[in-house]
Structure 1
Amino acid sequence: MNPIDQLIMERRSIKKFKPDTVDVEEIIDLLNIAKWAPNHKVNEPWRFQLYAGAGKEKFVQAFLDSMKTPDGDIPQKALNKAQYFRDIPLHLVAIMPVDPRQRRFDEDYGALSSMLQNFQLAAWQRGIGMIWRSNDWIYNPVFREAIGVEPGEKIVATMMMGYPAHVPEKQARTDIREKLEIIDQ
């Protein structure tokens, strides 16, 4: 098996991270590698926010504010999740412009998704794990405004990353022959 095939098949989504700091410059280097994803007319339809160190609290507070009930309380489940977020070394928010033309939107979304997969693979090769999150709260106007996401922009992912404390076992995948229709006439 060649190294790229092996890397693709071995990458896992990581939910438990070591507390070790991840060098921000290494993340920048990885993003500079990942940007070579295919994107229509090389329009690079992305921007990023990286929350590190004390800056993570802005991300966590935006999350907590978006979880407030109408009477201003924050559910215990959200408080627990906030502590989990604080314990993760880095949070990367991937943002794209929302083009009203469906084709351009689809091309941009595909480009950013490809870029994020490149990022995950390059990071995995260096021992950095992550999980791609697209939870309901990224659509919450309170969260979006708190982190500076403008109208006309879409949060595609929050990539939570660090060195893996636990690597899950691989899960079975369906043989592609069951999902493939070959039209040869």
Structure 2
Amino acid sequence: MMNPIDQNIIGRRSIKKFKPDPIDTEEIIDLLNVARWAPNHTLNEPWRFQLYTGAGKEKFVQAFLDAMTQKDGTIPQTALNKAQYFRSIPVHVVAIMPVDPRQRRWDEDFGAISSLLQNFQLAAWERGIGMIWRSNDWIYNPVFRNAIGIAPAEKIVATMMIGYPQHVPEQGQRTDIRNKLTIIDK
């Protein structure tokens, strides 16, 4: 018999189709405050966030379009279509971490913010809010990064696209962990 935490982990889905219903900014802040209890070495909290909602989403969308603009000044139709899709999503959260030149610190910070983002997804799912964690190529584009104020010493870990699910995908297959586990007992 599964407990509620197990059920929430197994039941969570990445959502790509959202209802147009707005989500209160305070609810997103509350969810991030829950998520911040992720493990992080020395409690350095290696994260910051940008939340785009309402009319503020247009800054996110315009940064994306600027990054997609070709040398001749045109924007591919696929990018224009994606911009319309981005406009339809109620909330975008950009998750940002500092870039530390020490590999161990970088690894620990990336692990910490990734744990926070999973907590965020699970806490939101429990409240009926869905999201998808995106790390598309354009988040590395200097035009996009500059447009939203990402410093050279920062990394965008994810753009979280958030809303109430319009469609919840079926559960995909996962490999039994026994096929990925080596037990050393002697």
Distance 2:69 2:124 in 1: 34
Aligned partner of 2:125 in structure 1 is: 124
Aligned partner of 2:170 in structure 1 is: 169
Aligned partner of 1:181 in structure 2 is: 182
Aligned partner of 2:38 in structure 1 is: 37
Distance 2:77 2:31 in 1: 36
Instruction: Give SS of 1:132's match.
Output: strand
Aligned partner of 1:55 in structure 2 is: 56
How far has the Cα of 1:164 moved from its partner? 0.1
Taking only aligned residues, the RMSD between alpha carbons, in angstroms, comes to 0.3
* Deviation readout 1:47-80 (Å, 9 max, x if unpaired): 0000000000000000000001111110000000
Matched, 1:158 2:159: yes
Aligned partner of 2:85 in structure 1 is: 84
Distance 2:134 2:32 in 1: 18
Aligned partner of 2:113 in structure 1 is: 112
How far has the Cα of 1:16 moved from its partner? 0.1
Aligned residues: 185
Distance 2:152 2:136 in 1: 19
Instruction: Give SS of 1:4's match.
Output: helix
Instruction: Give SS of 1:85's match.
Output: helix
* 2:57 counterpart letter in structure 1: K
Distance 1:170 1:139 in 2: 31
Which 5+ residue runs of structure 2 have no aligned equivalent?
Answer: none
How far has the Cα of 1:36 moved from its partner? 0.2
TM-score (norm 2): 0.99
* Deviation readout 1:91-144 (Å, 9 max, x if unpaired): 000000000000000000000000000000000000000000000000000000
Distance 1:72 1:40 in 2: 45
Distance 1:20 1:114 in 2: 27
Instruction: Give SS of 2:16's match.
Output: coil
Which 5+ residue runs of structure 1 have no aligned equivalent?
Answer: none
Distance 1:78 1:6 in 2: 37
* 1:62 counterpart letter in structure 2: A
Distance 1:24 1:127 in 2: 15
Aligned partner of 1:147 in structure 2 is: 148
